[in-house]
Amino acid sequence: MKLKRLFLFGFLISTKILNAQTDFRPGYVIKSTGDTLFGQIDYCGDLLMSHICKFRDTDNAIKEFSPNDILEFRFLDSKYYVTKEIDNKKTFLEFLIKGKVSIYYMRNEKGDHYYIDKEGVRLTEIPYEEGIKYVDNNQVFYKSNKHIGLLKYYMQEAPQLQSRIQSIKILDHKNLIKLAEDYHNAVCKDEKCIIYERRVPLICISIEPFAGFTMYDGYNKCIKELGGYLYFCSPRISENFFFKTGVAYQTITEAGENLNVYKIPIQIQYLYGSHRIQPKLSGGFNMLSAKLNDYKGLSHTLSLNGGLDYKISNRLNLSTAFNSDFTPIVDVVIYKDFKFDIISYSFIVGLRINL
């Protein structure tokens, strides 16, 4: 019971530590006075970036800037944010493209918002909504089309784009940036537009084949473990949080019998920072399946895992992890005498491949 409480306490502490983690990257801010400060900026998800800029100067002093404090900030060769007034309140908008029409982006608690700007016309949100409405007592999924009329109005000088605008069913970075770029090229031959947006996919996927060993509490044998993990990440929300699943396989041999055990993780993983060596922590639960002859058993355990990823290249990472699976409420019977309070401890090494 003491060990169980220790793991629970460690999990809670680890969660608080992760909440306090930062990912500072080179960048600069321009203050309201026009002064430019070079240093590092905390790289967060789009939701946080709309209202706060956490800046660390060359003396490692950290200061938080609001849209009332600075005109703009930018990560070097990456995202660029400017201060704009939206609904009588200053906010940070991500500057996606600058041209004869400019496009901005912001995420808040209500979702994604895109804005269009043009000389002589005020900054305006591009209207779009989707959801479920009732038609004759039936639920119907709908997408609004008000954005079509607005985009046609802002780009009326390029009639060749009107049919293309008509076909835009949903707003996203890719189609709006490309549309604004083509409009600029159609009406302006003297200069090129500037695309600031760092192109990132909506979803990133990684796979990780791994091998290692497991020790069960109360069972003094080292068991080989093989398997693979699958990771999903949405970089537009956060580049550091992942949904983790996959399968791990073990064979437990006792009295000449082989018990085959499969674990399927359902976990959230946090990968800290963007440096060559990245600490990581994941938590969640494992679905547990055991099979021996005609016997089949199903259960689940809580899981707390920590480790390090070593960056080999942009696509490859050497992954190491220490995993602990446990049951804080009830014991789990895998098979016969395999009944444990703390289930297992594992050490694994894998090769993580970004697809």
HEC per residue, 152-173: HHHCCCCHHHHHHHHCCCCCCH
- Please name which of 263, 254, 323 lies closest in space to residue 290, comparing C-alpha atoms: 263
Res 243: pLDDT: 93
pLDDT by 10s per residue, the chain, length 355: 343 444 444 444 444 444 445 678 899 999 988 899 999 998 887 888 899 999 998 888 999 999 999 999 999 878 899 999 998 899 999 999 999 999 999 988 888 899 999 988 889 999 988 767 666 777 777 777 889 999 999 999 999 999 999 999 888 888 999 999 999 999 988 888 888 866 667 788 999 999 999 887 766 778 889 999 999 988 767 778 899 999 999 887 766 777 788 889 999 999 876 667 889 999 898 887 777 666 566 677 888 889 999 988 878 899 999 988 876 544 444 555 555 445 778 899 999 998 8
Burial string for 148-165 (b: 16+ CB within 10 Å, else e) reads bebbeebbeebeebeebb
Whether 290 and 334 have beta carbons less than 8 Å apart is answered as: yes
Res 286: pLDDT: 85
In whole angstroms, what is the distance from residue 122 CA to residue 247 CA?
54
Q: How many CB atoms are closer than 10 A to CB 183?
A: 24
In whole angstroms, what is the distance from residue 209 CA to residue 352 CA?
7
Res 93: pLDDT: 95
CATH topology for 202-354 is Porin (2.40.160)
Q: Where are the domains of the chain?
A: 21-127+169-195, 202-354
Res 342: pLDDT: 55
Q: What is the model's pTM?
A: 0.60
In whole angstroms, what is the distance from residue 97 CA to residue 137 CA?
43
